[in-house]
Amino acid sequence: MTESTLLQHRHDDYIEVVTFNRPHALNAMDIPTMQMFADAIDNVANNTDTRVLILTGAGDRAFSSGGDLNDLADKSTEDDARHFITIMGDALLKMEQLPIPVIGAINGYALGGGAEIALACDMRIIDEKARLGMVQMRMGVTPGWGAGQRLMRLVGYPRAMQMLLRSHVMHAPEIKELGLTMNVVDKGTALDHALRFARHIAQSPPDTVRGIKALLQAGLHNPYETALTIERDIFPPLWAGDAHVDAVEKFLLRQEEYEAEKRAKQNVN
């Protein structure tokens, strides 16, 4: 039986991992794989138990090298192009709009469409051998899955323009310098680090985690005053929620225990 070109599996109870699984092609995506990716994002969106999503690539050579030109070469019309960029553009937009954090565990190459997928993640953890490149211009095209807008928001207009026009492949130090990664880790360990962080997130109050993403997304997509209102509206239900009430009770109990211990020491002296 042929193994799927895209894997989706559960880690622990609340963490979903989606793996691009075409290592022989540097995890490049043919159209069936693109559709499987879109379906995987739909599955995550429909599963309210999932608290974190991680994307990664099979093997240690690539996260994803984008669209597979061997598959796409004979799909040369404008209608063909609109078809597959719609699959991926819609999937990445839906992923970006998930209420949960999305972590890209970037192992090796993330080129062209692979870089587009990486930029659609909320956070990126990269290994020291990672290579990220907006190299679309080398093939006579622009980004088509939304990365032009995401890149500009991440690094600003002048840098985004320079990166797209230079069409060069960045190594880990430059990726970090631009603020496109949380941290650089040893080769082959990006997924391990992503899972460790994901477990921390999954153990945190889920409504609070979703609130954090919602307020930051509000700032990206709304005028400043509207975003402030959204942030203010997120706070009161969390303040009255069980997680906050329990945390306050524990804080007060620790404070009482500390004061009691302090008084006991004073009495001894």
End-of-domain residue from the set 172, 202, 232: 202
- Regarding whether 230 and 131 lie in a shared domain, the answer is no
Is 167 in the same domain as 214? no
pTM: 0.93
Q: How many helices (H) and strands (E) does the chain have?
A: 11, 10
- The confidence score (pLDDT) of residue 1 equals 42
d(CA 19, CA 108): 14
- Cβ neighbours for 91, distance < 8 A, ≥ 6 positions apart: 34, 37, 38, 41
Q: Is residue 45 part of a domain?
A: yes
**Which residues of the chain fall short of a pLDDT of 50?**
1
Specify whether 164 is located in the same domain as 178: yes
Beta carbons within 8 Å of 220's beta carbon, 6+ residues apart? 153
Identify which of 195, 166, 170 has the alpha carbon closest to the alpha carbon of residue 181: 170
Q: How many domains does the chain have?
A: 2
Number of Cβ within 10 Å of residue 119's Cβ equals 26
Same domain, residue pair 193 and 132: yes
Please report, for the domain that includes residue 56, its CATH number.
3.90.226.10
Domain final residue, candidates 161, 180, 202: 202
Q: Which two tokens stand for residue 234?
A: 């997120």
The Cα–Cα gap between 177 and 116 comes to 19
Asked whether residue 232 falls in the same domain as residue 107, the answer is: no
Is 88 within a domain? yes
In a domain, 1, yes or no: no
Q: Quote the tokens at residue 243.
A: 């997680």
Could you tell me if 210 and 49 are in contact, meaning their C-beta atoms sit under 8 angstroms apart? Answer: no
Beta strands in the chain (DSSP E): 6-11, 15-20, 52-57, 62-64, 102-106, 109-111, 123-127, 131-133, 169-171, 183-185
Q: Which domain holds residue 249?
A: 206-268
Beta strands 183-185 and 123-127 are: parallel
Tallying the residues shown for the chain, one arrives at 269
Query: Is position 212 within any domain?
Result: yes
Assess whether 72 and 197 both reside in one domain.
yes
Orientation angle between helical segments 224-239 and 206-221, nearest 10 degrees: 170
Handedness of CA 214, 89, 185, 5 (dihedral sign): positive
Residue 263: predicted pLDDT: 82
Do 109 and 182 sit in the same domain of this protein? yes
Residues 27 and 51 occupy one common structural domain: yes
Q: Is residue 140 part of a domain?
A: yes
40 and 70 fall within a common domain: yes
- Say whether both 167 and 77 belong to one domain: yes
Where is the domain boundary, 173, 202, 231? 202
Same domain, 159 and 230: no
Question: At 13, is the secondary structure helix, strand, or coil?
Answer: coil
pLDDT of 117:
98
Please check whether residues 220 and 145 belong to one and the same domain. no
**Residue whose C-alpha is closest to residue 122's, from 145, 105, 139, 144:** 105
Please give the pLDDT value at position 268: 75
Residue 248, domain member (yes or no): yes
In a domain, 145, yes or no: yes
Distance CA 1, CA 16 (A): 24
